[in-house]
């Protein structure tokens, strides 16, 4: 979920709760015993989709007792990437179906959670860049199809104009679906080539048709049209067309575009306004299944489960389960990592076949000057585009001698002392959701502005541009408070916000971005990469402005989707893993413009490490020519699943073919990832690299060992030629530590003098006999 997405509807949410018990909406009211279940039948047995659908109906009829009951029960038939269906079933019916020989697994439906352009110049993909730039070498992604799973689309946005685009790729099998206020004849074009919506799973959970539900109609619409702006924002970030003179009320002014402005977009609406539900498992599975059939090259998914996570082979982990089938067919799947940072082990979408993205900032800020009556000046951050206020009163109302801090959420409409003044208040972690109410209260009582003092890890969203709401850190807030307390007539002047680009603004990892280590498989590094996800300007619904700033890993993932579209265009035969690992091994670990270390926002701030940003900050032009790549295919993923200890039947269920793990359980540390993440010290690991650079090349190892760790590589030099394109090497690791430690970080880099292929290294010393 993007940060502003959550805040924008807080007021509406409170009003809704007065009339609606939300939990009642999420369970079936039509039949208290029937709930939607997903029936997974493994690999599809028929290339003919009609035969597959018929088989699903026949199986369901055998349990339901009649064809009519089966037709009324079934809501989706999965028949492209895998075989199965979603249907309304009682517990006893679900149990009976699960016992049938053709059925692999039956699980109940559940919900996923949404995770919510200077950025492209910052990443080196400006339209004015030289011809050798990835943007131009890849012809801006022309011919690549990006599938986006999200909240729908606003097709009239200029971000989706098809000027200068050629015909729709001939391999495209999808279509645009009609719906309420959505006419495919006018909504779709050579840019937006597909638009579908999936509502049956949500309706089944709600227990009534959406078109007859006044609460649904208040917040969403039964069509591919976006009523929230989240998907319009993510789609335009990934593949939006060139749109000049864009800004949010004159802030961030310039030309906006997607990462692959000539790529085509296919939108799959699976998420409904969070006030009335979210994204159901059944709908999401159906969308991925149809996207595989339609012919997308990339799936961009900004949603996921919450901690604790299901295992890779558990069907309830629907995104991992369905995306495995997509990746096995050559489709790269990019997912947001979640917004539960800065706490460790919160990253989601962690399967090794998924490209998981963290959120970083760019070199842009929005400073707003605060000048006190004594001419002392401070700088805050806001998006206020109104006029300078001139000197006016500033106030902070003390409550009592025992409670002398006025928190923002304490303000109410009885606080008439705020009339004609700028109000200073303090906010603590968890109370930021109340800020829209606080701002509304200050305006209602006649206040002229709001200064919010906060911990640096709290991410606020500026809901208005015409009313000054400025954030400052606690230290600045304390100085403002002392001025108010000890001045006879405290006054303040607020200036309009400016857009500042470049130094001294340096890159940081957003505090909200979910962190590793991976909570299911600690040896699999997650997130994989970081990309811009803080204050990203892109298209939204044209309410007060057609463009808006949004923050979240939801915004970071489509940046990577756009870059992957360019790489896919330039290297059409690279596997999803090769593309993913080219990004990981060429990533920046320092600010790409200043060279300064990347800071990870938290309590306290620290230098970013692999659990914050994986390989580092995405390096678009580095990934196009990495020199060497680590690669993985279905066989490698099977070895990973075997190393996790999953049994053969569970693995076979996921991969749709018979699986047989080695008698000796393989080590997860030998999974051919570019990263070396070792939760419990092991002496040797093995990797294989493939040469995609000059045919004849010589690569030497550069080792930066973690503290107290010795790393040796054999061979130390990799020599490639026309007959040697792949080389395996062994890494031997030893430690001088005598006690269990936390992770220490380093790197292993292969270089031929022109390319640098860097593997982030994370090693923990663990002595089991000392634990506990």
Please provide residue 110's backbone torsions phi and psi, each rounded to the nearest 5 degrees: -155, 180
- Residue 257's contacts (CB-CB under 8 Å, 6 or more residues apart) are 117, 120, 127, 240, 241, 242, 243
CA distances for 280 relative to 146, 283, 321, 349, 467, angstroms? 22, 5, 14, 16, 38
Alpha-carbon distance values, 466 to 148, 448, 463, 627 (Å): 33, 11, 9, 51
**Which run of H or of E encompasses 649?**
helix 648-655
Q: How far apart are CA 482 and CA 484, in angstroms?
A: 5
C-alpha 378/C-alpha 370 separation (Å) is 5
Catalytic option among 554, 569, 600, 652: 554
- DSSP state for residue 648 in the 8-state scheme: H
Which residue bears the tokens 């040797």?
Answer: 684
How many CB atoms sit inside 10 A of residue 529's CB?
Answer: 28
Q: State the Cα–Cα distance between residues 157 and 240, nearest whole angstrom.
A: 10
Structure tokens at 408: 């923002």
- The overall longest dimension of the chain from CA atoms, in Å, is 84
Could you tell me which residues come within 8 angstroms of residue 544 by beta carbon, excluding any fewer than 6 positions away?
A: 465
d(CA 27, CA 13) in angstroms, rounded, equals: 19
Distances (CA, A) of 140 to 236, 294, 442, 708: 14, 22, 47, 46
Token pair of 559 as six digits: 């940046």
Please tell me which residue in 56, 80, 110, 150 is annotated as part of the active site.
150
554 catalytic, yes or no?
yes
Q: What is the residue-wise DSSP string for 530-595?
A: EEE-SSEEEE---SS-SEEEE-SHHHHHHHHHHHHHHHHHH-TT--HHHHHHHHHHT-BSB-TTT-
Nearest to 290 by CA among 194, 226, 200, 201: 194
Which token pair is 228?
């929230």
Residues forming beta bridges with residue 158, ordered by sequence position: none
C-alpha span between 454 and 621 (Å, rounded): 37
Count CB-CB contacts under 10 A for residue 700: 15
Do residues 259 and 561 touch, judged by C-beta distance below 8 A?
A: yes
The one catalytic residue among 110, 230, 325, 737: 230
Rounded Cα–Cα distance for residues 538 and 549 (Å): 7
Strand 74-78 and strand 264-269: the pairing is unpaired
Burial class (CB in 10 A: 0-12, 13-18, 19+), 268: buried
Cβ atoms of 705 and 671 within 8 Å: the answer is no
Catalytic residue IDs: 150, 230, 554
């Amino acid at each position: 979920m993007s940060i502003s997405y959550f805040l924008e509807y807080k007021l509406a949410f409170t009003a809704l709760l007065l009339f609606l018990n939300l939990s009642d909406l999420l369970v079936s009211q039509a039949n208290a015993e029937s709930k939607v279940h997903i029936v997974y039948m493994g690999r599809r047995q028929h290339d003919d989709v009609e035969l597959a659908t018929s088989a699903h109906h026949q199986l369901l009829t055998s349990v339901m007792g009649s064809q009519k009951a089966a037709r009324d029960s079934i809501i989706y038939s999965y028949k492209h990437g895998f075989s199965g269906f979603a249907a309304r079933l009682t517990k006893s019916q679900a149990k009976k179906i699960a016992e049938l020989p053709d059925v692999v697994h039956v699980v109940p439906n559940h919900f996923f959670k949404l995770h919510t352009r200077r950025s492209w110049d910052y990443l080196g993909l400006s339209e004015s860049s030289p011809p050798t730039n990835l943007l131009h070498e890849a012809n801006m992604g022309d011919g690549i199809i990006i599938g986006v799973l999200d909240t729908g689309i606003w097709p009239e946005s200029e971000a989706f104009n098809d000027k200068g685009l050629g015909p729709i790729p001939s391999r495209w099998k999808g279509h645009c679906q009609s719906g309420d206020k959505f006419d495919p004849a006018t909504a779709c074009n050579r840019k937006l080539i597909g638009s579908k919506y999936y509502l049956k799973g949500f309706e089944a959970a709600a227990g009534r048709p959406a078109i007859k539900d006044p609460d649904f109609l208040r917040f969403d619409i039964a069509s591919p049209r976006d009523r929230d702006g989240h998907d319009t924002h993510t789609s335009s970030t990934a593949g939006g067309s060139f749109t000049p003179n864009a800004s949010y009320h004159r802030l961030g002014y310039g030309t906006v575009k997607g990462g692959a402005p000539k790529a085509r977009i296919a939108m799959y609406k699976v998420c409904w306004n969070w006030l009335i539900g979210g994204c159901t498992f059944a709908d999401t599975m159906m969308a991925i299944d149809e996207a595989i059939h339609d012919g997308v090259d990339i799936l961009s998914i900004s949603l996921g489960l919450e901690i604790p996570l299901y295992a890779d082979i558990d069907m309830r982990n629907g995104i991992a389960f369905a995306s495995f089938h997509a990746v096995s067919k050559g489709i790269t799947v990019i997912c947001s990592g979640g917004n539960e940072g800065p706490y460790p082990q919160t990253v989601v979408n962690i399967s090794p076949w998924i490209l998981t993205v963290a959120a970083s900032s760019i070199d842009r800020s929005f400073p707003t000057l605060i000048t006190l009556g004594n001419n002392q000046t401070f700088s805050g951050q806001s998006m206020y585009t109104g006029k300078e206020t001139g000197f006016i009163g500033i106030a902070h109302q003390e409550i009592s001698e025992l409670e002398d801090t006025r928190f923002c959420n304490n303000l109410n409409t009885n606080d008439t002392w705020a009339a004609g003044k700028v109000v200073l208040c303090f906010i603590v972690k968890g109370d930021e959701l109340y800020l829209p109410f606080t701002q509304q209260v200050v305006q209602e009582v006649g206040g002229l502005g709001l200064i919010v003092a906060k911990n640096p890890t709290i991410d606020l969203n500026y809901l208005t541009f015409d009313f000054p709401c400025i954030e400052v850190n606690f230290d600045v807030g304390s100085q403002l408070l002392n001025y108010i307390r000890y001045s006879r007539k405290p006054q303040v002047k607020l200036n309009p916000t400016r857009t500042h680009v470049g130094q001294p603004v340096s890159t940081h990892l957003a505090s909200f971005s979910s962190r590793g280590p991976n909570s299911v498989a600690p040896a699999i590094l997650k997130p994989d990469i970081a990309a811009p996800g803080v204050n990203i300007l892109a298209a939204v619904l044209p309410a007060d402005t057609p463009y808006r700033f949004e923050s979240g890993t939801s915004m970071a993932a489509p940046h990577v989707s756009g870059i992957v579209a360019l790489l896919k265009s330039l290297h059409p035969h690279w596997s999803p893993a090769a593309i993913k690992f080219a990004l990981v091994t060429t990533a920046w670990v320092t600010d790409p413009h200043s060279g300064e270390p990347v800071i990870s926002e938290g309590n306290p701030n620290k230098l970013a490490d692999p659990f914050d940003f994986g390989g580092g900050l995405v390096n678009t032009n580095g990934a196009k020519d990495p020199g060497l790549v680590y690669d993985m295919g279905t066989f490698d993923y099977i070895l990973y699943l075997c190393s996790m200890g999953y049994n053969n039947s569970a693995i076979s269920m996921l991969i749709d073919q018979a699986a047989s793990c080695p008698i000796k359980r393989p080590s997860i540390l030998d999974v051919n990832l570019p990263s070396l993440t070792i939760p419990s010290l092991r002496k040797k690991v093995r990797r294989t690299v493939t040469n995609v650079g000059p045919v004849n090349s010589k690569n030497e190892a550069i080792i930066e060992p973690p503290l107290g760790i010795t790393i040796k590589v054999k061979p130390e030099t990799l020599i490639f030629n026309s007959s040697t394109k792949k080389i395996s090497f062994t890494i031997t690791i030893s430690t001088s530590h005598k006690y269990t430690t936390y992770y220490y970080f380093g790197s292993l880099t292969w270089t031929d003098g022109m390319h640098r292929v860097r593997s982030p290294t994370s090693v923990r010393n663990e002595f089991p006999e000392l634990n506990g």
